Structure formats: C-alpha cells, structure tokens
Structure 1
C-alpha cells in the first residue's frame, strides 16, 4: 500500500491491526459531543473511507472536515490542527 507521506512501513501493520480491533462508538454517543471537532480525512486512505468522515460531520453539530487530496494537503495538517486548537 503506497503512502503519500514518509511513514515507516514497519508501522503500517500495527496501525492497521489497531484500527481493525476497534470500532466507532455508538452513533448516539458521537451525536452528544458538544465541542468543536476538526476531522482531517485523507481522500486515498484505504483504512478510513471518506464516508466515515462525512458521517462524523453529520453526527457532530460543531464539526468540520477538511479532506486532504494531495501530499501538500497532508503536510498542512499539523499547522491546520494547531490553528484549530488555538481558536
């Protein structure tokens, strides 16, 4: 699975095992969140489809998703998250 950013490929199996052994909380619990939420989906993420991000946005009242479609978009996530947390 080619990744658009430099990631130690030795970490990928552990990350995927962790994702596979967990699940999203119940939708009614997610919908009770009352805080700003920044969702940063990656368009080509094989483990987390964009439909998951869209569902989270539909469930969380004060949420926003900004989809990364390029490597440059991914590289901007750190700054975007810092700006979001500072606001």
Structure 2
C-alpha cells in the first residue's frame, strides 16, 4: 500500500549507511526476500511486477525495519470513536 516502507542500515566499512524503499503509489507494496545471503527489498505493483529493487549482502546488514501502513482501523495512539461507547 502507498506509504509502506522498509529501512535498511548497513555497515559500509567503518561507517553506516541507511537506505529506504517506499511504496510511492497507491496499490504498490514493499516486499522483503532473503535468499543465499542476499536480502532483496522490492517495490511491486498489484499484479506483482517489480518496479524498484534493492539488494544487500545479509552479512553487512545491521538493521532492517519494516514500516507497514495500517489499512484497517486507527493507527497506534489514535482513538476510534466507536471504541469510546
């Protein structure tokens, strides 16, 4: 969904670098796949066609954080008026 994003922090030889892959349009989502020591972060369309791909060596990744968009109900910290009754 639009707004899905994944942050990847990697070790770049003494420093760290942060990369972010974001679902830029409605109907797109971000998927994370790990195979053979490589982590692949892909922005895909509704039909599964890849739009953008980022690949990282798993041994270099310090942190991988997924920030999904909550499509159902209020976000954390928000109050739903139906729950108050």
Q: Same fold (TM over 0.5)?
A: no
* Larger proportion of strand: 2
TM range (shorter): under 0.3
* Larger proportion of helix: 1
TM-score (ref. length: structure 2): 0.28
TM-score (ref. length: structure 1): 0.27
Q: Which structure is larger by alpha-carbon Rg, 1 or 2?
A: 2
